[in-house]
Structure 1
Amino acid sequence: MCYFNPILIFLACLLLLTACVAPSLQSAGNSQPETASPQLRVMSYNIHHANPPGRKGVIDLEAIAEVIRKEAVDLVALQEVDVRQPRSGNVHQAQALAEMLGMHHYFAKAIDFGGGEYGVAILSRYPLSDTIKVELPKEDSPNAEGRVLALATVQLTEGQHIRFGSTHLDIQSSANRQQQVETINAAAADELPFILAGDLNDYPDSPAIKALDQVFQRTCLTNCEATFPQDEPDRIIDYIAVTHASKLKVESHRVVPESYASDHRPVVAVFELPTASVSR
């Protein structure tokens, strides 16, 4: 007759359990958590002075704010922005959007219009500095509407900066657009990474965009979605691009399927930000 000591059985089971668990604990203790690279979400949006194209005379700035809010972007390049114009309720639209979204802003006037100002703007979740307006040339068609580049330095974190630009190129003259791109290319000759976004009013195979490609990498190069008009888009005229020298990696590009708030669809790109590339 065999006799089993329950104490010995308990101790044997305990030793076996410890042997199985210990390697797992050791492995867990030695593993290092993966750290995701920092990202930057950027939008380009021609807001049509917040007038939904299907509602003549109506201004719906909250609809524009909601589009931006839903995309959770860090930087926004705005075009066709009204400032203190009677047609849009004498509101400073860039400032109002910044307040609605809890962002910083910079507005650059392109022209005086309708008793107020009209131009492009930048919204940013990060502090802005070194803001400047660059007048863009229109030598081929001097009577064309004035166009500008809004530029700012964006402080991402302490000691980390990029340059960000918002623009809206001439609609009348291809030669004007090419000259304007060349001026932007010259402005991008900076040691900081430079992201450009805007309504460039030209197609990907145009001389102006080919000139842009000499200095910038567009965030979409093939099989890109159309951005205009908003209801049945059939052309690409809105872009986001980054300087070749910046080493910022484009993680994604998409056109937001939004068809109410403006006559353009917004474009959103996500960048990976290597720390070494954004130090000033």
Structure 2
Amino acid sequence: MRVGSFNLASGRDASGRSVDAGALAAAVADLDVDVLALQEVDVDQPRSHRVHQPAVVAGALGATDWRFAPTLAGTPDPFASWSRLDPVLDQGSLTGPHYGIALVSRLPVRRWHVLHLDPGPLKLPLVAPDPRTGARRLWWFPDEPRAAVAAELDGLMVVATHLSFAAPTAARQLRRVHRWVAGLPGPVVVAGDLNLGGSLSALVTGGRRLVAERTWPAPDPKVQFDHVLSLHGARGRDPEVRQLDVGDHRLVAVTLGP
């Protein structure tokens, strides 16, 4: 079984603009992965052509099952607040723009599990254009709620997540995920943008990194934020780190087994 993780960045290409459904499907169509964790995923967002990105990626990979976990509702705007969601709650049939994480699988999923992760208190400084004037300025964005989605497969639990941009909060969230999976069938691997550089994720959990290579920023990586982390003894081989035509992180993938 080959497991991967990719920060989709709303499907943005090198120009910073989100691609349409066809270009998104083409960017991932040749990926040799059975299970793929996705972060920064848009659904029905004007900025990304109102594409249902989890469904497009799942279709391009030939995935038989997938789960989208929305953590924010609405359209991102410096002057408006998102509506924060608890992905554990039954969202029913979602309507309107949403944002979150997803997990897609070519393999049958016996059961899905979803965990809500509280945001941290810090704000992220970003320089971006002011939509009123076009001038670049400094914005302070609050941390957002996070989530973890677990797919219970035949003989393996794969957990997808995207943790806080603040390392102390990310470490707290990862410890929360670690406690959560202790009650789920194992072995367990966590795949995602953990926002913890290098070996920090392994130090926090006592787990093992199955891929150890820099992943961000995609054109010239300086640090590894993206991981496939074994928590309960799963071993990996043939690790891969790869730049795609979309996203600002590199894809990571590994084959699980002897």
Category of TM-score, reference length = shorter chain: 0.7 to 0.9
Of 248, 265, 280 in structure 1, the residue corresponding to residue 250 of structure 2 is 265
Per-residue CA deviations over 1:84-142 (Å, capped at 9, x if unaligned) read: 11211222210122123321211001212416111110110012242232111335549
- In structure 2, what is the equivalent of residue 131 of structure 1? 112
Q: Which runs of structure 2 are paired with 1:8-23 in the superposition (5 Å)?
A: none
Contact 2:42 2:52 in 1 (8 A): yes
Structure with bigger helix share is 1
- In structure 1, what is the equivalent of residue 9 of structure 2? 48
Of 95, 104, 111 in structure 1, the residue corresponding to residue 72 of structure 2 is 111
Contact 2:10 2:18 in 1 (8 A): no
**Unpaired segments ≥5 residues, structure 2:** 76-95, 124-141
Task: Give the C-alpha shift of residue 53 in structure 1.
Answer: 2.8
Structure showing greater Rg: 1
Q: Report SS of the residue matched to 1:127.
A: coil
- In structure 2, what is the equivalent of residue 233 of structure 1? 221
Q: Which runs of structure 2 are paired with 1:1-280 in the superposition (5 Å)?
A: 40-54=1-15, 56-103=16-63, 104-114=65-75, 116-141=97-122, 143-154=142-153, 160-171=154-165, 173-189=166-182, 190-206=184-200, 209-212=202-205, 214=206, 216-220=207-211, 224-243=212-231, 245=232, 247-258=233-244, 260-272=245-257
Q: Distance in 1 between matches of 2:243 and 2:51?
A: 27
- In structure 1, what is the equivalent of residue 78 of structure 2? none
Task: Give the C-alpha shift of residue 48 in structure 1.
Answer: 1.0
Q: Report SS of the residue matched to 1:70.
A: coil
Contact 1:65 1:100 in 2 (8 A): yes
Given the two structures, how large is their TM-score scaled by the length of structure 2?
Answer: 0.77
What RMSD over aligned residues (CA atoms) do the two structures have, in Å? 2.1
Aligned residues: 218
* Equivalent position amino acid for 1:249 in 2: R
Contact 2:189 2:234 in 1 (8 A): no
| Structure 2 CA distance for partners of 1:267 and 1:60, relative to 1, 3 Å | farther
Contact 2:74 2:98 in 1 (8 A): yes
Task: Give the C-alpha shift of residue 82 in structure 1.
Answer: 0.3
**Unpaired segments ≥5 residues, structure 1:** 1-39, 155-159, 274-280
Contact 1:48 1:263 in 2 (8 A): yes
Q: Distance in 1 between matches of 2:196 and 2:22?
A: 29
